[in-house]
Amino acid sequence: MSKQKPHILVVDDEPDIRNILQDILQDEGYSVSLAENAAQARRQFNKKRPDLVLLDIWMPKEDGISVLQNWVDNGELKHTPVIMISGHGTVENAVEAVKLGAYDFLEKPLSTGKLLLCIERGLENATLRAENKRLKTRLQHGSPMISNSDSSQELMRHIKLLGPTDSWVFITGESGTGKHLVARKIHENSPRSEYDVIELNLAAMPSDSVSQALFGSEADGKVLPGAFEQAKGGTLVINEVLGLNRDTQNKLLSALQEQQFMRIGGDRYLELDVRVIVTTSGNPQQAVREGAFSEDLYYRLNVIPISVPSLRQRRKDLPELVELFVQDIAERNDITPPSMATEALQMLSSYDWPGNVRQLQNVLQRLIVLNAGQNINEADVEGAIGGDLNLPSQAAQTPDYFDSDMRSAKEKFERAYLSHHLETVNGNVSELAKKVGLERTHLYRKLKNLDINARDAKGR
């Protein structure tokens, strides 16, 4: 992906100054938009978020300080430095502007050399702040991918192949397997890695606020950027995408097809420049069959599918994962990490972990806090898991769908329930219909949707 040249918004009520600044900046390789007053400045700012603003203080009707204050109050200058300019500048003006959040203050007549140097430093400062933010995010979410097992090695191969492309990715896997971490690793291996990765967690969001969170909104001159704008140039990760309601699904599909979107309450389209990665712990094909998820949107998003293995599918990774988490938890809590008996580690490795990596981290948190500086034994492990640690076959008695979303849990229960009773009637669907209390036509449809073949149950 080629890097776009920085875009600068010039706000000044004098036409000659606007035109001169435009010529100078375009000669230096910047793209430029112009505004002659406060109202135009806001419209241009909202139309295309600039990388930097040159803002005149003295303008008719409303001055630049007021415009700056409005942008600051609305939280719109997190990534956009503002350089104030004035032909009647005073120390008080400069101090007030900088206190409000302006990057610098220049007096007219403007020196071309000083202006370009100030712009260059302002853009560098914004880039450094953005990079610091990304580094902090990587430290918070930067757990290395352990890949000792075959399934983990295959996952890493997919990440390395997908990273350099700009294709959309559909990530599936059980709850707690670390799908968001996989999404971030794909982003870090992509040409978009110098830009932000923004995560939208639909599972923790009221359905009526999802559209605004995605597309942003504008009302009464106040603009709230959505995830598409925040992730511009980078990657947008939509977690638990099956939670989108139909209206938002249609808006998302339109945005992806047209490569543009409109804020809620807005009247103009904005360019869509993000890589989209979606995740789900449910069954997208089942959601499509049941009509809960748009088939068109599913195929639009499912350009490259990737499945994250469960922890029980990657047992060879467990010893190294345990060591990594123990050190990390001990450091974050500033306590001495305990030692672990061989039998305790074997017990952790033999457990099926229905809650996957998230459950492993929680159990280790309890073990370390309760046994700081001591030796962890089998009894400690059994107590931390809550007494449900037995042989793998017995541990598996805890339904794995307890950690799934409602739709996925319902599907898994129905498949297990119908498969069990189908065996008791030797694959006879008419008998099954009577036994489970379903009309036969509906039962046939249900078996087909669940990929259950009645003939497979005969003679068992």
Residue 218 CB contacts under 8 Å (≥ 6 apart), including other chains: 46, 224, 263, 264, 265, 266
CATH domain 7-136 topology:
Rossmann fold (3.40.50)
Site of tokens 């950027």: 225
Report the alpha-carbon distance of residue 72 to residue 92 in Å, rounded: 19
Predicted pLDDT at 4: 66
Report the alpha-carbon distance of residue 410 to residue 402 in Å, rounded: 10
In CATH, what is the architecture of 405-457? Answer: Orthogonal Bundle (1.10)
Read off the pLDDT of residues 196-241 as tens digits, 9 standing for 90 and up.
889 988 876 777 788 999 999 988 777 888 999 989 889 999 999 9
Report the alpha-carbon distance of residue 332 to residue 320 in Å, rounded: 18
Residue 106 CB contacts under 8 Å (≥ 6 apart), including other chains: 83, 84, 85, 86, 114, 115, 118
The answer to whether the CB of 193 falls within 8 A of the CB of 187 is yes
Radius of gyration of the chain (CA): 28
How far is CA 432 from each of CA 23, 379, 403, 409, rounded to the nearest angstrom?
79, 45, 29, 22
Query: CATH topology of 7-136 equal to that of 148-307?
Result: yes
Residue extents of the structural domains in the chain: 7-136, 148-307, 312-395, 405-457
Three-state SS sequence of the chain: CCCCCCEEEEECCCHHHHHHHHHHHHHCCCEEEEECCHHHHHHHHHHCCCCEEEEECCCCCCCHHHHHHHHHHCCCCCCCCEEEEECCCCHHHHHHHHHHCCCEEEECCCCHHHHHHHHHHHHHHHHHHHHHHHHHHHHHHCCCCCCCCHHHHHHHHHHHHHCCCCCCEEEECCCCCCHHHHHHHHHHCCCCCCCCEEEEEHHHCCHHHHHHHHHCEEECCEEECCHHHHCCCCEEEEECHHHCCHHHHHHHHHHHHHCEEECECCCCEEECCCEEEEEECCCHHHHHHCCCCCHHHHHHHCCEEEECCCHHHCHHHHHHHHHHHHHHHHHHCCCCCCEECHHHHHHHHHCCCCCHHHHHHHHHHHHHHHCCCCEECHHHHHHHHCCCCCCHHHHCCCCHHHHCCHHHHHHHHHHHHHHHHHHHCCCCHHHHHHHHCCCHHHHHHHHHHCCCCHHHHCCC
Site of tokens 């007549």: 109
* Mode of pairing for the β-strands spanning 217-219 and 222-224: antiparallel
Q: Does domain 312-395 have CATH number 1.10.8.60?
A: yes
CATH domain 148-307 topology:
Rossmann fold (3.40.50)
Read off the pLDDT of residues 29-78 as tens digits, 9 standing for 90 and up.
999 999 999 999 998 998 888 999 999 988 888 889 999 988 888 778 87
The answer to whether the CB of 448 falls within 8 A of the CB of 458 is no
Query: Is the whole-model pTM more than 0.75?
Result: no
By CB atoms closer than 10 A (0-12, 13-18, 19+), residue 259 is exposed
Report the alpha-carbon distance of residue 305 to residue 292 in Å, rounded: 19
Residues of the chain where predicted confidence (pLDDT) is lower than 50: 1-2, 138-142, 387-397
Predicted pLDDT at 13: 92
Report the alpha-carbon distance of residue 31 to residue 445 in Å, rounded: 58
Predicted pLDDT at 418: 83
